Amino acid sequence: MSATRPPAYDERYAAPVEASRRGAHRARPNPLTSVIPVIAGMAVVVLVVVGAFTLLGGRGGSPDSSSVAAAPTTQASASTSATPSASASAPASSGSASADPSAAAGDVDKTIQLRVLNSTGTSGLAKKYSDELGQASWVVAKTGDSNARGLQTTIVYYGKTSQKATADALVDKLGFGKSKKSAANAGDGITIVLGADAV
């Protein structure tokens, strides 16, 4: 008796595994996920620009606020090297400043070191006023030209509130100009930047 053989496997009818899968696909990407990095990048750029503008904007402005810290180009004149003998008695010279309400900010200090700078381009103007101040017992440490050019009004820069009375007394002594608080422009003492009203 002959054994029955199983039917032969015909590969023609065999379907590949990939063909037997149904509905296998990747999920569509969310459009927001591709936009978020772009928005974040733009936000960073805007913050950097605003920050830079804020930092630089605080320094700009009118020409009288430009830095004069490195302006002196010459040493003190010979007439200012003598230290006044009565400079310690500052209240004696504060007559005009004491009547001024601004004197409440502090006493007039003639021993404070002054810088007299010229913004006008008129030759010898800084030396002229430094000599006058020296003869009036003020201590002029340096004279020279200012980095700020063409100021119309003379500005007496002071760095501390306690120096306001001294700055106002200098304005009174010169007979023109105005005082302004600016530690950057005042330097170690008080800086006078002569304008067109000094010519």
Contacts of residue 169, defined as CB under 8 A and 6 or more positions apart, other chains included, come to: 93, 94, 96, 97, 108
**What is the mean pLDDT of the segment spanning 144-165?**
91
Contacts of residue 166, defined as CB under 8 A and 6 or more positions apart, other chains included, come to: 97, 106, 107, 108, 109, 110, 112, 158, 190
- Ranges 8-17, 25-34, 75-84, 139-148: which has the least confidence: 75-84
Taking each helix axis as running N to C, give the angle between helix 125-135 and helix 164-174, from 0 to 180 degrees, rounded to the nearest 10.
Answer: 110
3-state helix, strand, coil in the chain (%, to 5): 45, 15, 45
Beta bridge partners of 180: 157
Instruction: Count the Cβ atoms, other than its own, within 10 Å of residue 17.
Output: 7
> What are the residue ranges spanned by the domains of the chain?
30-59, 65-198
pLDDT one-digit tens code per residue, 155-172: 999 999 999 999 999 999
Predicted TM-score of the model (pTM): 0.51
Show the beta-strand stretches assigned E in 74-159.
74-75, 113-118, 139-145, 155-158
Thinking of the domain 65-198, which architecture would CATH place it in? 2-Layer Sandwich (3.30)
CB burial of residue 107 (10 Å; 0-12, 13-18, 19+)? middle
pLDDT one-digit tens code per residue, 65-115: 445 544 444 444 434 433 333 333 334 333 333 344 444 457 899 999 999
- Of residues 139 and 2, which shows the higher confidence score? 139
- Of residues 87 and 63, which shows the higher confidence score? 63
Among 178, 121, 110, 171, which residue's Cα sits nearest to residue 148? 121
- Of residues 82 and 178, which shows the higher confidence score? 178
